[in-house]
């Protein structure tokens, strides 16, 4: 058996999420099916993180064990040939040690959330960004983001379906920056709760719209109560961008 | 009659091009139909440039004359509401003088051509970029581009369907830059011949692949002969980015 680490880019629009589902297309399922077609083996692909329906990946990391003798380059090429026409591409493939695990060895994860702040509807980025028509005060959003950075009980920003053992996480970075009418929120942490990034972004947008004060956001965090969540951002704008090992 | 200038973003993938066609969807047709639905008027929309099937627009400029009393903001909002679900959006709308003409008043046009230089297939950018799997020497491409800058007979880089009175054009700028695996070619001129940007990019890619020397490109230009064209880049990667007045 050889363990291969994959770097995967995927457009989440046609998928029910990363994780294989009994009904409906998934990114994991697409890769596992391609792998079966290449190797004849029924292997499980393990990822650094699971993404929800409609969430995208720029560089998801994953691993798989393969019995067939094949070089990383040939495996990458063969997977990409079989993945068509699904919008999933293996950007890199390398041999790793048997104890390297895409999920358990991962020391940090980074997401980017893309907002298009304009009145005009989206064209190229439909399903790839959250269109917010009202002007956003990104200075206020950036200030509010700092309230969330650090070690906190993030229950307010956690899906009821979250399977994490603890709601306490350490948010390493939450940056808000504007380039023209694009507003990008970049989040980094060792790990995140289910829906945490979307929930944080939703509340930052409330601050950007002046519907919430920075103080109101702090109260919502301290409450550690899902009922205090102001707004959950749609999946469209969320991209898994990096996993560190 | 009031003349309105429009700034239009469009994803060219589902269209046969900018220009209205008897059979098949066009960007001009989509806007004119939306306009008719808003005003009840059958007006012609004039653009700074015509784009081919599959070519995109980030900020095409256009104008139209409207008899109905309506503010620029209301016109923009109404057009955008009617354009759905077509991937066409009016980003800006303003009243202009009666003698302002999107095509004839235009003093300069700029295009961007997007190449993704990697082996992995495209996911998000399918139809929005040209995937070139072999490594491109962007230094050589940038050097070769300077051969084309200036006033030349561009017959080699001109479609046989080109309707321009003269093949002599002055190319103001042709820049090649790389950001990671993205290679962008930016072109600016008062006006371009039909297929000129795609033909120039095709030959620059031949230089980037070391299949053509810079000298070979110069010979192709001087020959002023369409038969000397090495390669016409696909429409996918071409974006109309700006019109100056």
CB-based burial label for A72 (10 Å; 0-12, 13-18, 19+): middle
Residue owning tokens 């939703």: A202
Candidate from B11, B124, B126 with C-beta closest to A123:
B11
Beta-carbon separation of B119 and A76 below 8 A: yes
Question: What sections of A7-137 are H helices per DSSP?
Answer: 27-39, 72-83
Question: Closest approach of chain B CAs to the CA of A245, in angstroms?
Answer: 21
User: Six-digit token pair at A156?
Assistant: 């307010």
Which residue(s) pair with B150 in the sheet? Answer: B171
- The interface predicted TM-score (ipTM) is 0.91
- Show residues of chain B in contact with A91, CB under 8 Å: 118, 120
User: Does domain B2-96 match CATH 3.30.70.580?
Assistant: yes
In the predicted model, residues of chain B with pLDDT beneath 50 are none
- Is the separation of the CB atoms in A16 and A50 below 8 Å? no
Q: Give the pLDDT of residue B238.
A: 98
Residue owning tokens 């990104």: A138
State the catalytic residue, choosing from B11, B33, B52, B137. B52
CATH of B108-244, one of 3.30.465.10, 3.40.50.1220, 3.30.9.100, 3.30.70.660: 3.30.70.660
Q: Give the pLDDT of residue A163.
A: 86
- Is the separation of the CB atoms in B196 and B172 below 8 Å? no
Domain with CATH 3.30.70.580 in chain B: 2-96
Closest of B215, B166, B213 to residue B193, by C-alpha: B166
If one counts every other C-beta atom within 10 angstroms of the C-beta of residue A49, the result is 19
- Is the separation of the CB atoms in A221 and A156 below 8 Å? yes
Closest of A190, A162, A159, A197 to residue A176, by C-alpha: A197
pLDDT band at A23 (very low <50, low <70, confident <90, very high): confident
Report d(CA A166, CA A110) in Å as an integer. Answer: 20
Candidate from A11, A89, A121 with C-beta closest to B84:
A121
- Show residues of chain B in contact with A90, CB under 8 Å: 120
Query: Does A36 contact B at CB distance below 8 Å?
Result: no
Q: Give the pLDDT of residue B23.
A: 87
Q: Give the pLDDT of residue A228.
A: 92
Beta-carbon separation of B123 and A80 below 8 A: no
Per cent of chain B over pLDDT 70 is 100
- A161 has pLDDT over 90: no
Q: Give the pLDDT of residue A236.
A: 97
B interface mutation test: which of A6, A114, A118, A124 has the most B CBs within 10 A?
Answer: A124
- Is the separation of the CB atoms in B14 and B86 below 8 Å? yes
- Show residues of chain A in contact with B89, CB under 8 Å: 120-123
Q: Is B236 a catalytic residue?
A: no
Candidate from B10, B119, B121 with C-beta closest to A123:
B10
- Beta strands A182-189 and A238-244: pairing type? unpaired
Which run of H or of E encompasses B216? helix B214-223
Candidate from A56, A80, A120 with C-beta closest to B121:
A80
Window 93-152 of A, Cβ < 8 Å to B: 118-124, 126, 128
One-character DSSP codes across B125-148 = TTTTSEE--SPP-HHHHHHHHHHH
| Cα A185 off chain centre by | 12
- A62 has pLDDT over 90: yes
Beta-carbon separation of B122 and A89 below 8 A: yes
Domain with CATH 3.30.70.660 in chain B: 108-244
| Average pLDDT of span A188-199 | 96
Q: Which residues contact A85 (CB under 8 A, 6 or more apart)?
A: none
Report d(CA A191, CA A197) in Å as an integer. Answer: 11
Q: Which residues contact B73 (CB under 8 A, 6 or more apart)?
A: B93
If one counts every other C-beta atom within 10 angstroms of the C-beta of residue A223, the result is 14
């Amino acid at each position: 058996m050889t363990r291969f680490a994959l770097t995967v880019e995927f457009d989440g629009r046609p998928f029910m999420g990363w994780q294989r589902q009994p009904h409906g297309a998934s990114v994991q399922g697409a890769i596992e099916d391609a792998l079966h077609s290449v190797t004849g083996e029924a292997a499980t692909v393990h990822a650094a993180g699971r993404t929800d329906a409609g969430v995208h990946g720029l560089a998801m990391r994953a691993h798989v064990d393969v019995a067939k003798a094949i070089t990383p380059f040939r495996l990458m090429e063969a997977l990409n040939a079989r993945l068509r026409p699904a919008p999933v591409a293996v950007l890199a493939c390398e041999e790793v040690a048997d104890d390297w695990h895409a999920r358990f060895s991962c020391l940090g994860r980074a997401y980017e959330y893309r907002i298009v702040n304009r009145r005009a509807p989206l064209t190229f980025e439909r399903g790839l960004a959250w269109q917010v028509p009202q002007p956003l005060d990104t200075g206020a959003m950036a200030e509010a983001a700092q309230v969330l950075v650090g070690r906190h009980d993030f229950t307010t920003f956690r899906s009821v379906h979250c399977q994490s053992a603890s709601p306490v996480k350490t948010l390493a970075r939450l940056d808000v920056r504007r380039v023209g009418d694009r507003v990008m929120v970049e989040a980094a942490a060792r790990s995140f709760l289910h829906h945490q990034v979307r929930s944080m972004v939703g509340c930052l947008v409330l601050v950007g719209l002046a519907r919430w004060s920075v103080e109101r956001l702090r109260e919502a965090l301290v409450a550690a109560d899902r009922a205090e969540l102001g707004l959950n951002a749609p999946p469209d704008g969320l991209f898994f961008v990096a996993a560190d090992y």
